[in-house]
Amino acid sequence: MFGIDKRVLNFFVIVILSFITFWWTFFIFHLPFSYDVVLGVICIRLIASLLIFKDYSMSWSKATQKTFLIKSIVYIVAFIVYMPIYYGNHRLAFMASELAFYLFAINFSMYAYYYFINRCKINKTKVVVIYGAGKAGIKLEEEFRNSEYKIKYFVDDEKILQKRTIDAIPILSKKVLKRKMAKEKYDLLVIAMPSAQKERIKQIYNSLNSFFKEIRVLPSLEEILENKDFSSQLKDITVEDLLARHPQDLDKQKIQDFIKDKVVLITGAGGSIGSEISRQCKKYGAKKLILLDHSEFNLYKITEELGCSSVIPVMQTVRNLGFVENTFKKYKPQIVIHAAAYKHVPLVEENVIEGISNNIMGTKNCIDLAIKYEAEKFVLISTDKAVRPTNVMGTTKRICELYAQNVKSNKTEIVAVRFGNVLGSSGSVIPKFKSQIQNGGPITVTHPDITRYFMLIPEACELVLQAASIGKGGEIFILDMGEPVKIVDLAKKMITLSGNDDIKIEFCGLRAGEKLYEELLINDSDKKTDYDSIMVAKPTPYEIDKLNDDINELLVCKDKIKKLKEIVPEFTHKA
């Protein structure tokens, strides 16, 4: 402003405002104006501004609540200095009244300047509603001031906040918002609740989706970056947000006690499940992580991501007994988590011998070596497709379960954990649908009635570790996957979220070995554990010498399907 240093202007403001506030105070107290008092107080205020908190150099255009507080402290300290000087000549009420008027004038002037400089110069063309009137919502309201969005309402579930306002913006309940929006549709709803569970986000979305053109959500507290604007971190609602379910009985202390300071070997460490288990083991304090995978790229990727000296990559296939034995001999793992497997149903149907070799023999190799080298715990990752299987992949995993339950384990506790589909894993339906939507459709669904269980990968993996921590050996644990989801409904949700309602859905028929629905329990006699999210299956006895003979025969016989049916009588092959 006129080329004058704004720190000098601050002194100028002190002088002008002091003259004005003293003139008014002398007037209302019916006293003659005293230049001696005014000049004396101005001098002390200038010195206080110079010495305390560098008040003279504070930027008014970047003022915060703390700035206003500092201003008040500076001039109250000045008051404490000059009040004894003038106490005999002027009443305390006179001096205190002038101070109150001065504090109001200086803070009002500063806020008016701040508001004028920072006022939005952008034309407001869109309407936004913020769900959540907490700290995150207020920060977003500040950031939206300089955007094209006009904030119409806040919405909050706390009754104590409802019917109040933030900067003159009303805070409503969800019920009142829906009533007000009965005949109109706003541009954007922002869900500013970083501590909310995904189940709550899903409820809000389902309730308010029809009232907004777009819904965006602030990331969770774990994901949010504090040094970036919240508005730049808003993300679209994803199908993972809508399908996710958070187990309420996750015992992180139990998992930490199980993993901390242990040497952990993870097979299939580069896959969707294996890589997440690797992350979790690092998070929970594993002493050393031996990451084993036959894929060079996947192993490189997870090793680079974890990036520490305690992570050791081993590029091997679990089918090579000699190579894997060298790894066991060298690192002596205390915990072995076996995630390596071929899991894609149609591919294994076309490659039966490879499926048997990798899934059955690979698992058998790892279990036998864990027993030989006295690992404390062996954890087999299994699948809901092992329950009354209709395909080769599920049957091979069921044989793995039988081996894990019945082998003579000596000092090693061997457990299996069975669960359904995980959201976003390689080869799963969600990435496929996303790709089809990006290409303009159509989305292909095998059958109108096909259903599947779903769970987020991180939650599934934490529950795997929790189940493993409570296992004593011989159990097959089953994760509670909630209610099954119709795949056609999933496709419809993804089309809605994409904003392209023109995309069609086509039904292409069940593939070889595919079920209409999956099961997690073989019978109703399965027992509960201390955790509602984890059940334990009734054991299935199988004489181990006979099972070994059957597996050996399976490897050399010509009719693999027939032999698989002998080992797993409930196997009904749908070729």
- pLDDT for position 424: 64
**Adjacent-strand bridge partners of 267:** 292, 338
| Residue 73 tokens, joined | 């402290």
Residue 303 CB: number of other CB atoms within 10 A? 20
Closest CA to 405 of 522, 260, 533, 494: 522
Q: Tokens 């200038």 label which residue? A: 46
- pLDDT for position 518: 67
Quick check: 191 and 217 in contact, CB under 8 A? yes
Q: What is the reported pTM?
A: 0.69
* Residue 353: partners with Cβ closer than 8 Å, 6 or more residues away: 560
- pLDDT for position 431: 78
Buried b (16+ CB within 10 A) or exposed e, 228-266: eebbebbeebbbebbbbbebeeebeebbeebbeebbbbb
Beta strands 421-423 and 454-456, pairing class: parallel
Cα–Cα distance for residue pair 532/278, rounded to 1 Å: 25
Closest CA to 517 of 461, 434, 446: 446
pLDDT tens for the chain, residues 1 to 575: 445 666 788 889 999 999 999 999 999 999 999 999 999 999 999 999 989 988 888 888 888 888 889 989 999 999 999 999 998 888 899 999 999 999 999 999 998 888 888 776 677 788 899 998 888 888 888 888 878 888 899 999 998 999 899 888 999 999 999 888 877 888 889 998 888 877 788 889 888 888 888 888 888 766 666 667 777 788 887 777 777 666 666 788 999 999 999 999 999 999 989 999 999 999 999 999 999 999 999 999 999 999 888 899 999 999 999 999 999 999 999 999 999 999 888 899 999 999 999 999 999 999 999 999 999 999 999 988 888 898 999 999 999 999 999 999 999 999 999 887 777 666 677 778 888 888 888 889 888 888 877 777 888 888 889 989 988 888 898 887 767 788 888 888 888 877 777 888 888 887 776 667 766 554 555 567 777 778 888 888 999 999 999 999 999 999 999 999 999 999 988 76
- pLDDT for position 1: 42
- pLDDT for position 219: 81
Q: Which residues are catalytic?
A: 385
Cα–Cα distance for residue pair 235/205, rounded to 1 Å: 14
- Start-to-end CA distance of the chain, whole Å, equals 82
- pLDDT for position 2: 47
Main-chain phi, psi angles of 57, to 5 degrees = -100, 5
The H-or-E segment that residue 26 falls in is helix 6-28
